[in-house]
Amino acid sequence: MTSTSVHLAVYDTLADWEPGFATAHLTQNGHTVRTVGATTDPVTTMGGMRVRPDLALDDLRPEDSTLLILGGAGLWDTGDSLAPFARTARAFLDAGVPVAAICGATAGLAREGLLDDRTHTSAVSFYLAATGYAGGPHYIDADAVTDSGGASRGALVTAGPTEPVAFAREIFGLLGVYEPKKLDAWYRLFHDSDASAYEVLQG
């Protein structure tokens, strides 16, 4: 892939803190984060921030991206207004471009059938089971999970709502942002407040 653009989906009620670790450190390490909305009209996140998307969903092409990030939002569980984002995730995965979903976005992917045959996680197993999806046997009780996707499908990262740091770690590992020793140090610093990891990360 030659693109360094990572696309962050933005929509009303977005849990804006969930992708924050990932987007901040991707930006600091050579990636451009671009926001994508249903349209280019401003949205208001759960934290009350107004965001004007860089582009509309209809203009987003997998070949122009290295990753699509889908954050949680109240709207994932109150209707189908965010279903187009799940369908876009399918297009990305089918094109071999990875997708990362956290919190309620995992339920959106489950409803789209994208977790039926992939290892994944979420808040709890019964949260996804309530969607009626067929992927229960592939659920892993873990902070975050990466399914490599195989030769013809893009990789998929999933995480529960309390794990934005583990979510970011999986994204960094997938995109090669940090080599393994520094990735471990990054996680220990931001997840465990391990001050000894700072020197490793800066080395």
* List of E strands, the chain: 5-9, 32-37, 43-44, 50-51, 55-56, 67-70, 99-102, 144-147, 156-159
Q: 6: helix, coil or strand?
A: strand
Q: In whole angstroms, what is the distance from residue 172 CA to residue 187 CA?
A: 10
Q: Which amino acid is at 140?
A: I
Are 95 and 62 contacting, i.e. CB atoms less than 8 angstroms apart? Answer: yes
Concerning whether 103 is annotated as a catalytic residue, the answer is yes
Q: Which of 67, 103, 165, 174 is catalytic?
A: 103
Please write down the long-range contacts of 181-187, taking CB distance under 8 Å and 24 or more positions apart: 186/25
Q: In whole angstroms, what is the distance from residue 168 CA to residue 26 CA?
A: 9
Q: Which tokens belong to 10?
A: 């933005």
Q: In whole angstroms, what is the distance from residue 107 CA to residue 122 CA?
A: 8
Which residue matches tokens 């465990």?
192
Q: In whole angstroms, what is the distance from residue 126 CA to residue 123 CA?
A: 9
Which residues carry out catalysis?
103
